[in-house]
Amino acid sequence: MAEIVLFHHSQGLTPGVRAFADDLTAAGHTVHVPDLFEGRMFDDVESGVAHAREIGFDTVLDRGVAAAEAFPAEVVYAGFSMGVMPAQKLTQTRPGATGALFVDACLPVEEFGSWPDGVPVQVHGGVDDEWFAEDLESARALVGSTPTAELFLYSGTAHLFADSSLQGHDPAAAGLLRQRTLAFLASL
């Protein structure tokens, strides 16, 4: 079973992020969910992004990196949207990552150096998600340059479609994402 550090999106550590973590835990995995916003949650993505800008995206990133120090290096780093920032940085810069799971975002690999050899990654995003549209080229570049990378696209989904506590939740797409995630984790 895998040990996972899961970073939340810009609306905070919502009940839906916790539910996703609980699903992985129920499957036998150990999941840690650091709170990068120190208990704050927001009603919409824009408000959460405004908060991240106010405290500084570097602060959010630094909080994620600091939180990971409490866990072994041999973990899967996962993130939803904004949470992909620390997940991707840690995967690329902290030796020992066993895998990565990016949902609703993917940064250019060059942002943090190069992709570590042999580390598998799954990227999940909505084809109709305007937030993910900004990252789709980076996701495709990662998949094109990394033999252990997979990209899964979901039609008709809103941003944060896998968060069951938000209005944009898509149960069918979220179920497929969970299924693919569990298969990925089982393969590690």
Give the predicted TM-score (pTM) of the model.
0.97
- Tokens representing 64 are 């994620």
The pLDDT, as a whole number, for residue 41 is 97
pLDDT digits (tens, 9 = 90+) for 145-156: 999 999 999 999
77 — pLDDT class (breaks 50, 70, 90): very high
Q: What is the mean pLDDT of the chain?
A: 97
E strands along 21-175, which residues? Answer: 30-32, 76-80, 99-103, 121-126, 149-154
Distance CA 105, CA 4 (A): 18
Q: Which CATH class is domain 3-186?
A: alpha beta
Segment 45-68 mean pLDDT: 96
* 56 neighbors 47 (Cβ within 8 angstroms): no
Dump pLDDT digits (tens) for 103-113. Answer: 999 999 999 99
Q: If pLDDT is split at 50, 70 and 90, which confidence band does 121 have?
A: very high
Task: Quote the percentage of the chain above a pLDDT of 90.
Answer: 99
